[in-house]
Amino acid sequence: MYAQVVDEADIQYAHRVDRKALAAITREMSKVNNGRALWALACQWLVIVAAFAFVVLVDRWWAWPLAAVLIATRQHAMLALMHEAAHYHFLSNRKVSDVVSDLLCAFPLNMTTAGYRHEHMLHHRYVNTDKDPYLAGQLVDASWHFPRTPMRATAVFLADALGLYAPNHLKVVLPWTYWGRLVGRAQPRITPMEHLRYWLYVATLVTVLVTTGAWLHWLLLWVMPTTTVMMAFFRMRALGEHPIEESTSGDETRETRDVLGTALENFFIAPLNVNLHLTHHAFPSVPFYNLPAMHEQLDKAGLLEDGVNQFDTYLGKENSLIQYLTREPEASAAAAAASQQPRLVQPLHS
């Protein structure tokens, strides 16, 4: 079931996306809707503000972890919106888009839109090759190596939730941060306008914290979730996007996945349609709110195959990502052997 090539007919399944046939609908679906993007951003911040208010009003110890988990889900959504800005389809005005993304998505998560964009574009260009910065980082980090037994897989996600893998994740995101780019000289160089708005953000944050005295709330309800619970959600989502193998076939249509997910799963693990990752790679110009329509086009084209590049859920009992991540070693070995079979090696964006 899991990407096993059994005959020549299966090899031929790895056909390309007919971009010419889909050109008209792709252009239509690539139109940026500023209202939808800003509403999505506003919704995340409304939930975050409500979670902080809940802790203050209830004033019970159990309100803190509940609010922290809820805030972590919306921090993950803010990452998704920063990703939209990295592709220049968050807002129609690119300069305004970067400013809004930095101030309301990236900086609060200690990242920069431009820093993230640099590595993310390399990922799209060299996905699942030795030049893919994401894959390179995952291959040298044993915590990303699957399949695992159910108990060992659970241990990884639990360790994320407890912050035990925070140093590993910091190494990955360091080139995306202001200080990583400034001191570590990660690309691209920080522009004068980025300097200005970053320090404007810092001054605003410090002023609010000094005025309200909410330092503990900020540390426990904002800083801590970004290095703990959010990373557990992020790992589950990232493991669903691409197989992590040392040897790959070069066929992006089979090594990038869509995970449909339930409504509850997508709220926690894959907000704002980031679960449709194969669709995103096939049509990177399409904003998040139009990805479901393009997913339907891939389905109509016969490009999607359960257990290979499409899963129904993250945690369900049938055709789920967790089944794939905890499959028997024999199935994993068969999938690895399948990746060595000759295939038509072409980029998805041909």
Mean pLDDT of 80-108: 98
pLDDT at residue 1, rounded to an integer: 36
Q: What is the pTM of this model?
A: 0.89
Share of the chain above pLDDT 70, in %: 87
Main-chain phi, psi angles of 306, to 5 degrees: -55, 135
Q: What is the Cα–Cα distance from 136 to 324, expressed in whole angstroms?
A: 21
Q: Is the pLDDT of residue 246 over 90?
A: no
Q: Is the pLDDT of residue 350 over 50?
A: no
Q: Are 325 and 152 spatial neighbours (Cβ–Cβ below 8 Å)?
A: no
Q: Is the pLDDT of residue 2 over 70?
A: no
pLDDT at residue 231, rounded to an integer: 96
Q: What is the Cα–Cα distance from 190 to 151, expressed in whole angstroms?
A: 44
> 329 pLDDT band (50/70/90 cuts)?
low
pLDDT at residue 29, rounded to an integer: 97
pLDDT at residue 90, rounded to an integer: 98
Q: Is the pLDDT of residue 100 over 60?
A: yes
Mean pLDDT of 38-54: 98
Mean pLDDT of 206-226: 97
Between 86-100, 167-181, 332-346, the lowest mean confidence (pLDDT) is in: 332-346
> 69 pLDDT band (50/70/90 cuts)?
very high
14 vs 235 pLDDT, higher one: 235
pLDDT at residue 243, rounded to an integer: 80
Mean pLDDT of 44-58: 98
Q: Is the pLDDT of residue 5 over 50?
A: no
Q: What is the Cα–Cα distance from 254 to 145, expressed in whole angstroms?
A: 19
Q: What is the Cα–Cα distance from 298 to 292, expressed in whole angstroms?
A: 10
Q: How far is CA 289 from CA 37, 209, 279, in A?
A: 8, 34, 12
Q: Is the pLDDT of residue 346 over 80?
A: no
Q: Is the pLDDT of residue 343 over 80?
A: no
Residues 6 or more apart in contact with residue 97 via CB below 8 angstroms: 85, 88, 90, 91
Domain parsing of the chain, residue ranges:
19-328
Between 18-22, 75-79, 158-162, the lowest mean confidence (pLDDT) is in: 18-22
pLDDT at residue 226, rounded to an integer: 96
Q: In this predicted model, what pLDDT tens digit does every residue of 281-294 receive, in sequence order?
A: 999 999 999 999 99
346 vs 323 pLDDT, higher one: 323
Q: What is the Cα–Cα distance from 204 to 242, expressed in whole angstroms?
A: 38
Q: Is the pLDDT of residue 8 over 80?
A: no
Between 69-73, 215-219, 336-340, the lowest mean confidence (pLDDT) is in: 336-340
Mean pLDDT of 186-191: 92
Q: What is the Cα–Cα distance from 238 to 80, expressed in whole angstroms?
A: 12
Show the tokens assigned to 208.
């609010």
Q: What is the Cα–Cα distance from 63 to 56, expressed in whole angstroms?
A: 9
Q: In this predicted model, what pLDDT tens digit does every residue of 287-314 receive, in sequence order?
A: 999 999 999 999 998 889 999 899 999 9
